[in-house]
Structure 1
Amino acid sequence: MNIIGRFSMSYLRLPYSPAQPPILHPSAFSSLIRRRHCHRRQLFSTFQCSASTKSKKEKIIVISGPTGAGKSRLALELAKKLNGEIISADSVQVYQGLDVGSAKPSTSERHEVPHHLVDILHPAEDYSAGTFYDDGRQAAKDILNRGRVPIVTGGTGLYLRWFIYGKPDVPKATPEISLEVESELGNFERNYDWDAAVQFVTKAGDPTAQSLPANDWYRLRRKLEIIKSSGLPPSAFPVPYDSFKGQVDSHSTDLGIDIPADGILDEKHKDLDYDFVCFFLSTSRLDLYRSIDFRCEDMISGNNGILSEARWLLDIGLQPNSNSATRAIGYRQAMEYLLNCENQGGRSSTRDFYAFLSEFQKASRNFAKRQLTWFRNEPIYHWIDASRPLTEVLDFIYHAYHDQTGKLAVPRSLAMSKDMSDRREIAQLKTYRTKRGVFVNQEDCSDILDWVSNNQRRNIELIVN
């Protein structure tokens, strides 16, 4: 039963809320205000002209969206249409063996269109936004050198932000410093004493260590490496995006007038080293949550679902929430569920299974909500309604890629509002309840419970033999 495929392809025509007309009008103000309004129009015209006459730069398409929005399928079809190659900006797809939970492109899809930064690491290794910047930029350069179009797609916001704007210029630790840090934090990690390790790094000079997710040893080590390499905390090194955003905000403030953000951004984007054409694919929050819930069920179904992959992570000695791979949504919950089953003699009750499923779905929905919030503050993205027919979206992005005017605008038929304005939808979200499509009744999870029991038996036999 492929509920996810059926659900994601059922395009919905959602109501569109047209942009509000201009609030201000010159005739309503004094001569001083009229002069300021005129100045505003002149500045905006200058920005548009600058955008349309900007020097030719190589183009890179970026497609993002919340989990389950259909961005991977869109990127695949767009790559076929534009002779492109895909660079995955997904923090889980980099790992070998984590296929189901990351919605990794299939082998046949990867044969159709080249994919980069997929299956490049063992799950025991860590991967960072800085490493993605280096790998992603090199992949994009290679694709462009082959005369093809780089299409970066994924939902990891920090990866994409650094890819577009650059990464902080923090010092790289020498092998000696890395060994020193490993020695100092190693005892804490072996003793599972996360709080003591955080206090150690805090006293070394970085109080922001206290805001790290529990057991994020990779980032904790990196913070201590930076302190030891430079004598400064990571926050002392400017982040390119923050500088970019700050310049945009201060430009409008310094002029003392309300300049349209798009105009200022067109001007500031000239400072970027590529011509990034960015899209954010989304749909109504209610439809998105329904899709995510069904998608989670689909990932659990069958003998080779996310539980099987989580079992493998445990078998190779990893623990939930211990590194990048095991913190990933779905894998963490599945690993914790399986460990709980082990503690109960290798068995699972129906109640335990449904508790795991609910937690998986809730974590996935919350992640999608965080993605929406993150990208709502990213002004470079054009928001597109994921419920529209794929052919319409493809045609628009295809023409947008070839546009030379610098005045890209999403048509009303495809536009997606960044903010929720429908009171009915807001009310429905407050009372949202999961509707299951696979595990509707208790007997529907009997195969999963049998799999848990049989799998545990095989592990015991392997240990004994």
Structure 2
Amino acid sequence: MVNSSVCSLRTRCLRFPHLPETPLFPPHRFSITGRSRRTPVTASAVSETYRKKETKQKVIVISGPTGAGKSRLALELAKRLNGEIVSADSVQVYQGLDVGSAKPSPNDRKEVKHHLLDILHPSKDYSVGQFFEDARQATRCILDNGRVPMVVGGTGLYLRWFIYGKPDVPKSSPGVKSEVYSELAELQKNEDWDAAVQLVVDAGDAEAPTLAVNDWYRLRRSLEIIKSSGSPPSAFRVPYDSFKEQGDSSDTNGFESSGVQISGDSMEDSELSDLPYDFICFFLSSQRLDLYKTIDQRCEDMLLERDGILSEARWLLKLGLHPNSNSATRAIGYRQAMEYLLRCQQHGEQSSAEEFYNFLSEFQKETRNFAKRQLTWFRNEHIYHWLDASKPQNAIIEFMDHAYHDRSGNLIVPEHLRMSRGISNRQEAAQLKSYRTKNRHFMKDEDCSHILEWVNQKD
């Protein structure tokens, strides 16, 4: 397993005791305007805002739905700007989960230094709070070394905390941690999720039923917070909420009118001046129909080779892990692959073509649904400037380069690079509703024969 290097030794950087030298990253800021409603501000306020902005160091943030091509674009931009990439991907942190997370190749990591890759064994959980600490520290190291930090990934909550800060939730003492573990251990062993949720509800967290099923880490954390503070997690205000309340609201469900561009500056610059860095944030996407086609093909590609996602899922099972039992095994693709292989085991290490195609279809559908959730999440993140991933990469990189070096504070996304934040018309909505997967590689029973042979091999 290749580990990313950490920042230079002259700075006090992040270290992981269970691994050799590991990586870090940086953050940045932005400013792009469009036709958003703005409240009047005085000349002195504007002057003070841009005085603060000029003194801040810049951090680039690039996000987008899975399959949008953000990693490849970020790599090329990093080469141009003398940058280093911090991964904001909740799966890429895990060792051995390379194919399913579309982890940068060893060659890519030689060309541009990457941080927060391969820092954790897949049996461990990784929290948004830990990401905040690791990514902020990595960012500081990158800036101290005179390079440009570029935080790249599609995990929305990671990026939200990274930009705006994390809630001031009390840390749990070792005694509280031990007490909570003891209370939930037997229920987890018996896989009695409903009873465990009810225990936490009775303790004071009415929102515990909204957690993802079998997310034992967050359930334990909720109980720890209650025992440490007497209040549920929802009682602790998230810094992002303060910024959101002051920003303009946008329509997240209906169609966008063709003449309206919801811009990254719908929050006041005076509010963003309170952030620790000058964050320059981009969201890269393409038309939903094209994105879905790309996702379906990408899922196929992950299954073509013998060392693809199925091989990685089999490795997870050999480690004694179960699907949906922790962060790594909940990841889309890995959970479906592990469940498919377990079904094969129950049938004497045998699989039919029909069973394989059912797995592939589920894998593709869940990945498309994940992309849809990402689009919904980032639609309300007004700090991002949406760019059309279908446009020539050089044009997008040129604009990002310009945005990074812009000093006017009034940078406008060109019309030809703008991406709509929602479904733009009823025709597109109808096409999405009638969308059906058309595979390129797996179409007939014989196309998956090599997969079935691999599955049927007894180790």
Partner of 1:124: 123
Kindly state the Cα deviation for residue 425 of structure 1 after the two structures are TM-superposed: 1.7
Distance 1:426 1:48, change over 3 A: farther
Partner of 1:348: 351
Contact 2:86/2:135, CA 8 A, preserved across alignment: yes
Does residue 420 (structure 1) correspond to residue 419 (structure 2)? The answer is: no
The one-letter amino acid of 1:427's match is: A
Contact 1:126/1:325, CA 8 A, preserved across alignment: yes
Instruction: Provide the rounded CA distance (Å) in 1 between the counterparts of 2:77 and 2:154.
Output: 17
Does residue 281 (structure 1) correspond to residue 280 (structure 2)? The answer is: no
Contact 1:205/1:232, CA 8 A, preserved across alignment: yes
Unpaired segments ≥5 residues, structure 1: 1-18, 23-36, 251-259, 459-465
Partner of 2:299: 296
The one-letter amino acid of 2:311's match is: S
Partner of 2:328: 325
- Comparing 382-391 and 239-248, the one that deviates more: 239-248
SS of the equivalent of 1:280 reads strand
Kindly state the Cα deviation for residue 262 of structure 1 after the two structures are TM-superposed: 3.0
Distance 1:212 1:398, change over 3 A: same
Partner of 2:153: 154
Give deviations 1:198-252, integer Å, cap 9, x for gaps: 11111011111111111100000000111111111111111000122123359xx
Partner of 2:259: none
Contact 2:34/2:265, CA 8 A, preserved across alignment: no
Instruction: Provide the rounded CA distance (Å) in 1 between the counterparts of 2:317 and 2:267.
Output: 50
- TM-score, normalised by the number of residues in structure 1: 0.86
Kindly state the Cα deviation for residue 47 of structure 1 after the two structures are TM-superposed: 7.0
SS of the equivalent of 1:63 reads strand
Does residue 271 (structure 1) correspond to residue 274 (structure 2)? The answer is: yes
The one-letter amino acid of 1:372's match is: L
Contact 1:51/1:407, CA 8 A, preserved across alignment: no
Distance 1:227 1:21, change over 3 A: closer
Contact 1:383/1:415, CA 8 A, preserved across alignment: yes
Kindly state the Cα deviation for residue 267 of structure 1 after the two structures are TM-superposed: 1.9
SS of the equivalent of 1:178 reads helix
SS of the equivalent of 1:214 reads coil
Instruction: Provide the rounded CA distance (Å) in 1 between the counterparts of 2:104 and 2:161.
Output: 24
Kindly state the Cα deviation for residue 302 of structure 1 after the two structures are TM-superposed: 1.1
Instruction: Provide the rounded CA distance (Å) in 2 between the counterparts of 1:149 and 1:452.
Output: 45
- Tell me the C-alpha RMSD between the 2 structures: 2.1
Contact 2:170/2:225, CA 8 A, preserved across alignment: yes
Instruction: Provide the rounded CA distance (Å) in 1 between the counterparts of 2:247 and 2:90.
Output: 29
Distance 1:289 1:249, change over 3 A: closer
Does residue 401 (structure 1) correspond to residue 400 (structure 2)? The answer is: no
Instruction: Provide the rounded CA distance (Å) in 2 between the counterparts of 1:449 and 1:263.
Output: 52
Partner of 2:13: none
Partner of 2:360: 357
Kindly state the Cα deviation for residue 278 of structure 1 after the two structures are TM-superposed: 0.1
Q: Which has the higher helix share?
A: 1
Kindly state the Cα deviation for residue 442 of structure 1 after the two structures are TM-superposed: 1.4
Give deviations 1:244-302, integer Å, cap 9, x for gaps: 2123359xxxxxxxxx9836422210110100000000000000000000000000111
Distance 1:445 1:273, change over 3 A: same
The one-letter amino acid of 2:420's match is: S
Give deviations 1:329-369, integer Å, cap 9, x for gaps: 00000000000001111100111000000000000000000
Does residue 139 (structure 1) correspond to residue 138 (structure 2)? The answer is: yes
Percentage identity across paired residues of the two chains = 65
Distance 1:312 1:363, change over 3 A: same
The one-letter amino acid of 1:308's match is: S
The one-letter amino acid of 2:196's match is: A
Contact 2:243/2:267, CA 8 A, preserved across alignment: no
Instruction: Provide the rounded CA distance (Å) in 1 between the counterparts of 2:440 and 2:266.
Output: 46
Contact 2:267/2:382, CA 8 A, preserved across alignment: no
Query: In terms of Rg, which structure is larger?
Result: 1
SS of the equivalent of 2:412 reads coil
Instruction: Provide the rounded CA distance (Å) in 2 between the counterparts of 1:426 and 1:440.
Output: 27
The one-letter amino acid of 2:342's match is: L
Distance 1:42 1:171, change over 3 A: closer
Kindly state the Cα deviation for residue 117 of structure 1 after the two structures are TM-superposed: 0.5
Unpaired segments ≥5 residues, structure 2: 1-32, 250-262
Kindly state the Cα deviation for residue 52 of structure 1 after the two structures are TM-superposed: 4.1
Contact 2:62/2:282, CA 8 A, preserved across alignment: yes
